[in-house]
């Protein structure tokens, strides 16, 4: 059951730390009152002006929690708002994904909004882009510089439209393994779409059977073709957004809504030109424990269990963990 003590302990970490060893994990603008209208106006009408595209909005997830779980023993409405809005700078990503395909682990990423029911403060923010790059293992200096720089106009827009005080979730270090990567060899047909369609059907069925939701889908190869932009390194490149609804309820509705900045999980998949290997990657949920400052033992156990389950599902589809 959610308690004030649990939430207070989590929010106590939402402070800018002066400790030399601490790293910035998630940035938030915390503004007094209900900023949902201002947020919706910003993401629906203003982010395209700075190059970002909204892919898969999932607003007011807290309402769905209440609908599905309010009859459960110990249920408590802890959230007035919880929203996942997947965004990305498509034109920039055309260049960056060509150089670093693993960046699909945060492309798109969530511009997160949440408000606790017993606190008159709305928070809007995202994972530190430097941490995103570290999690996916992107080391190319040009990729890192351009990706980080692309967040400056976004943060300026949030300052202008949302305002409020700056809060930062800090942490010491990421886990030893931050990115799960898989490879799946296949007999390449003359028409590649035949393999892709078949695999996607099996993939979606396997995850849905295990109570995951396909919360989003971004086909970057088609997107860049429509934009008449070269993306010749890949024959196919797409990203799924995955959510396990009950798992998310157990974390976000129980004192750690800040961790929603990592949700839904982006799992990228690509086939390089003329290849017969499907490459897949997704950040481990283990990253949440450190970067989102999660200390609840039950939640930590559920995070680690989900990582193992995802690996098992992928291996069941024939993919090999690297």
232-283: per-residue pLDDT in tens? 999 999 999 999 999 999 999 999 999 999 999 999 999 999 999 999 999 9
pLDDT category at 2 given cuts 50, 70, 90 is: very low
For the segment 79-97, the average pLDDT, to the nearest whole number, is 97
Identify the band that residue 73 occupies on the pLDDT scale cut at 50, 70 and 90. Answer: confident
Question: Mind listing the pLDDT tens digit for each residue in 25-38?
Answer: 999 999 999 999 99
Q: Give mean pLDDT, residues 100-110.
A: 98
Give the torsion sign (CA, 290, 75, 119, 246).
positive
β strands within the chain, DSSP E: 23-32, 53-58, 79-88, 109-110, 112-116, 121-127, 165-171, 179-185, 212-219, 234-244, 265-272, 277-283, 320-321
156-190, pLDDT tens digit by residue? 999 999 999 999 999 999 999 999 999 999 999 99
| CA–centroid distance for 35 within its chain | 22
What is the percent of the chain where pLDDT is above 70? 93
**Per-residue model confidence (pLDDT) at position 174:** 97
Q: How far apart are the C-alpha atoms of 282 and 262, rounded to whole Å?
A: 11
Mean pLDDT of the chain: 94
4-18 b/e (C-beta count within 10 Å ≥ 16 → b): eebbeebbebbeeee
Question: Nearest 5°: phi and psi at 190?
Answer: -60, -35
Task: For 169-185, give one letter per residue: b (16+ CB within 10 A) or e.
Answer: bbbeebeeebbbbbebe
Give bridge partners of residue 114 from the DSSP assignment.
82, 123
Burial class (CB in 10 A: 0-12, 13-18, 19+), 37: exposed
118-142 pLDDT, tens digit each:
999 999 999 999 999 999 999 999 9
| Residue 160 burial by Cβ neighbours in a 10 Å radius (0-12, 13-18, 19+) | exposed
Per-residue pLDDT band at 8 (split at 50, 70, 90): very low
Burial class of residue 49 in the structure, from the number of CB atoms within 10 Å of its CB (0-12 exposed, 13-18 middle, 19+ buried): exposed
Which of the following CATH numbers is that of domain 4-321: 3.40.190.10, 3.30.310.70, 3.30.930.10, 3.30.300.130?
3.30.310.70
User: Residue 25 in contact with residue 173, Cβ under 8 Å?
Assistant: no
Instruction: Identify the three-state secondary structure at position 318.
Output: coil
- Please report which confidence band the pLDDT of residue 7 belongs to, taking 50, 70 and 90 as the band edges: very low
Q: What is the pTM of this model?
A: 0.93
Domain ranges for the chain:
4-321
- In this model, does residue 1 exceed pLDDT 90? no
Q: What is the mean pLDDT of residues 83-110?
A: 98
38 vs 21: which has the higher pLDDT = 38
Q: Which of 1-5, 10-14, 185-189, 286-290 has the lowest mean pLDDT?
A: 1-5
Structure confidence at residue 14 (pLDDT):
53
**pLDDT attached to residue 74:** 82
pLDDT of 20 above 50 = no
């Amino acid at each position: 059951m959610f308690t004030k003590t649990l939430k207070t302990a989590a929010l106590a970490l939402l402070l800018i730390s002066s400790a030399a060893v601490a790293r910035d994990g998630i940035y938030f603008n915390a503004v007094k009152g209900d900023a949902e209208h201002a947020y919706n106006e910003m993401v629906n009408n203003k982010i395209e002006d700075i190059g970002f595209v909204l892919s898969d909005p999932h607003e007011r997830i807290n309402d769905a929690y209440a609908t599905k779980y309010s009859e459960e023993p110990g249920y408590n409405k802890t959230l007035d708002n919880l929203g996942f809005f997947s965004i990305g700078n498509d034109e920039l990503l055309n260049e960056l994904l060509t150089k670093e395909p693993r960046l699909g682990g945060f492309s798109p990423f969530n511009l997160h909004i949440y408000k606790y029911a017993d606190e008159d403060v709305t928070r809007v923010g995202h994972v530190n882009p430097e941490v995103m790059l570290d999690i996916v293992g992107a080391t190319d200096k040009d990729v890192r510089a351009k990706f980080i720089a692309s967040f400056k106009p976004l943060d300026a827009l949030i300052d202008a439209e949302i305002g409020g005080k700056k809060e930062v979730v800090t942490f010491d270090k990421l886990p030893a393994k931050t990115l799960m990567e898989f490879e799946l060899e296949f007999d390449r047909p003359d028409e590649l779409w035949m393999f892709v369609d078949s695999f996607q059907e099996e993939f979606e069925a396997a995850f849905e059977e295990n109570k995951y939701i396909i919360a989003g889908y971004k086909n970057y190869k088609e997107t860049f073709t429509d934009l008449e932009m070269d993306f010749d390194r890949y024959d196919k490149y797409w990203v799924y957004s995955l959510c396990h609804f009950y798992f998310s309820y157990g974390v976000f509705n129980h004192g750690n809504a800040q961790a929603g900045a990592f949700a839904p999980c982006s799992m990228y998949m690509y086939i390089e030109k003329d290849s017969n290997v499907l490459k897949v990657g997704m950040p481990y949920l283990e990253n949440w424990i450190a970067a989102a400052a999660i200390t609840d033992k039950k939640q930590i156990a559920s995070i680690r269990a989900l990582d193992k389950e995802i690996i098992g599902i992928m291996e069941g589809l024939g993919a090999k963990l690297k």
